[in-house]
Amino acid sequence: MLKNKTALVTGSTSGIGLGIAKALASQSANIMLNGFGDVEGAKAEVAALGVQVGYHGADMSKPADIEAMMAAAAEQFGRVDILVNNAGIQYVAPIEQFPAERWDAIIAINLTSAFHTTRLALPAMQAAGWGRIINVASVHGLVASAQKSAYVAAKHGIVGLTKVTALENATNGVTCNAICPGWVLTPLVQKQVDAKAEALGISNEEAKRVLLAEKEPSLQFTTPEELGELAVFFCSAAANNVRGVAWQMDGGWTAQ
């Protein structure tokens, strides 16, 4: 379905980003990866799907790095047809104890980076008459949880950015939508499971159950593979007129 298209997925060396990159690669899109950690492992997993794979190590908190990454993607693949703004970090503390530098980092990586990638990707998409921008927001783009001030602010912000991007392109072939996962068992969430296990003196498995039971009625984690399939749908012709939605995959979290 996506042959001869190129997808750039930020934060795609792990977790949800890697899941989305693999789902798009399964539809024959070439992939530009980004992120830290096990870069070679991520490249190998995507390359095994038979597509071309690039990588840029831009730090999403740095606008100059983002400009370099977008230029590198254009040079290697000609154009970015699908942009997935996924890179994100978390920090948990009450507002009065929240370190100012953590606030700045979360806003930069989880929100401002998407402004920069989007502004840089749009002109070529508009010229081509086709493009897909998918913002990985969160249930925290729609509702709040205590101790996550920066994250909730950034995710509500990216849902807003999604709507504006969709409206400004409503009469052309460029769509922009957000994905709002509930709990997904990635390294980002494993840290919160570990913290709960330690705070309550319980096992890892019990901590997972407690975490799910607090918020997610299905008592199941959403998987990166399921989120990848939603991204594939947003890229399909059936989604040509899906514009500006924030679509939950949250086991009923926000239905309550």
- How far is residue 110's CA from residue 43's CA, in Å, rounded to a whole number? 23
Query: Which residue is catalytic, options 151, 183, 221, 253?
Result: 151
- Secondary structure of residue 125 in the 3-state scheme: helix
Is residue 151 part of the annotated active site? The answer reads yes
Which residue number, 2 or 154, has a Cβ lying nearer to ligand NAD? 154
**Cβ at position 109, least distance to ligand NAD in Å:** 5
| Residues 6 or more apart whose Cβ sits within 8 Å of residue 139 | 180, 181, 182, 215, 248, 250, 253, 254
Angle at 190 between CA 141 and CA 147, to 5 degrees: 45
- Secondary structure of residue 30 in the 3-state scheme: strand
Give the residues lining the site for ligand NAD (CB under 6 A): 11-17, 34-37, 59-61, 86-89, 109-110, 136, 138, 181, 183-184, 186-189
Residue 88, beta-bridge partner list? none
- How far is residue 208's CA from residue 55's CA, in Å, rounded to a whole number? 33
**Cβ at position 244, least distance to ligand NAD in Å:** 19
**Cβ at position 4, least distance to ligand NAD in Å:** 26
**Cβ at position 223, least distance to ligand NAD in Å:** 10
How is residue 224 written in tokens? Answer: 């990166």
Which residue number, 45 or 126, has a Cβ lying nearer to ligand NAD? 45
Q: How many helices (H) and strands (E) does the chain have?
A: 9, 7
Which residue number, 11 or 131, has a Cβ lying nearer to ligand NAD? 11
Which residue number, 49 or 185, has a Cβ lying nearer to ligand NAD? 185
Residues labelled as active-site residues: 151
